[in-house]
Amino acid sequence: MFGIPSCRPSSSTYERWDYAPPIANPVERDLSEVRSPTGCYMIKNIDQMHTLEIGSTVLQSYYSDSQECVVWYTGSDGRVYYTYDRETYHLCAYSKAEFDTRVVLESDLWFIGRQTSVKGLEAKANTLRKKDMIQLSLYVEYFITMTEDERNKKLEWD
């Protein structure tokens, strides 16, 4: 996914991390309603959809970066995968609900995080709890409890 200012640093538009905050109550969402920091969009036009089969799993393109640098696919196994080279497909989420919820949370957090520091996020977390935005609050708390070295740990691209 993309970096999140004050939470998960990134030197480019997309990075791979081997950690993600847990999501207590994932919900499928209409991602076309999400303000994406990278201009991502839901693939709704049947002419733009791409379907392929890998082993016994059928993948259907679902969500795309504005320049198609990364495309996410829903699998017939219920999981979400992504590709950046159209050759290798990586597991991204164990369900569409998890993926959708993470996109919503991380997009919101990106816009919040670019206006504050890690310490400022602690105050934001308290405000979010008061506004019944518990899931986003828990997401913030996950990042503020990490050390800087932990937040900077990225995976190499294959």
pLDDT tens-digit readout, 103-139:
888 888 777 766 666 666 666 665 655 554 667 777 7
Within-domain flag for 26: yes
Domain enclosing residue 105, as ranges: 16-153
Note the pLDDT of residue 128. 57
Residue 9 belongs to a domain: no
- The mean per-residue pLDDT over the stretch 21-28 comes to 84
- Quick one: which of 147, 151, 146, 144 has its CA closest to 121? 144
**What confidence tens digit (pLDDT) does each residue in 32-88 have?**
988 888 889 999 887 888 999 999 999 999 999 888 889 999 999 999 999 988 899
Query: Does the pLDDT at position 3 exceed 60?
Result: no
Residue 82 Cα distances to 31, 40, 120, 152, angstroms: 16, 13, 32, 21
Token look-up 């990225």 returns 154
62 domain-assigned: yes
Calculate the alpha carbon distances from 32 to 39, 40, 126 in Å: 10, 9, 29
Inside any domain, residue 33:
yes
Number of domains in the chain: 1
The Cα 83–Cα 74 span in angstroms is 12
pLDDT value of position 135 = 72
Quote the CA–CA distance of 108 and 78 in Å, as a whole number: 25
Q: Would residue 10 count as lying in a domain? A: no
The answer to whether position 67 is within a domain reads yes
pLDDT attached to residue 59: 96
Is 69 part of any domain? yes
Read off the tokens for 158: 């294959």
Task: Quote the pTM value.
Answer: 0.74
Phi-psi region of 86 (alpha: psi -120 to 50; beta: other; left: phi over 0): left
H or E element at residue 138: helix 134-144
How many H helices and E strands in the chain? 4, 8
Residue 107 within a domain = yes
